[in-house]
A and B are shown apart, each in its own frame.
Chain A
Amino acid sequence: MGEDLVLKAEKRDTGVDLTLNRANLELTPEQRVQKGLEFADFARANRGGESPPQEP
Chain B
Amino acid sequence: MALEDLGRSLQAQPLLEALERHGVDFVVVGGVAGLAQGSSYPTYDLDVAYGRDPGNLRRLADALAAIGVTLRGAPPDLPFQLDAQTLANGANFTFDTEFGSFDVLGDIAGIKSYEEMRKASQLKRIAGVEVRVASLDDLISMKRAANRVKDQLMVVEYVELADEVRRREEGAEG
Distance in Å from the Cβ of B151 to the closest Cβ of chain A?
Answer: 15
Any A CB within 8 A of the CB of B157: yes
- The residues of B that contact A32 with a CB separation of less than 8 Å are 35-38
The answer to whether B39 and A50 have CB atoms under 8 Å apart is no
Give the size range of A's interface with the partner.
Answer: 20 to 34
Interface of B, secondary structure class, is mixed
Q: A21-B160, A21-B161, A44-B6 are in contact. Are A36 and B1 (CB under 8 A)?
A: no
CA of A29 to CA of B123, assembled, Å = 10
Residues of B bordering A, CB below 8 Å: 1-3, 6, 9-10, 12, 31-32, 35-44, 124-128, 133, 156-157, 159-161, 164-165, 168
Which A residues have a C-beta under 8 Å from some C-beta of B?
Answer: 14-18, 20-22, 24-25, 28-30, 32-37, 39-41, 43-44, 47, 49-51
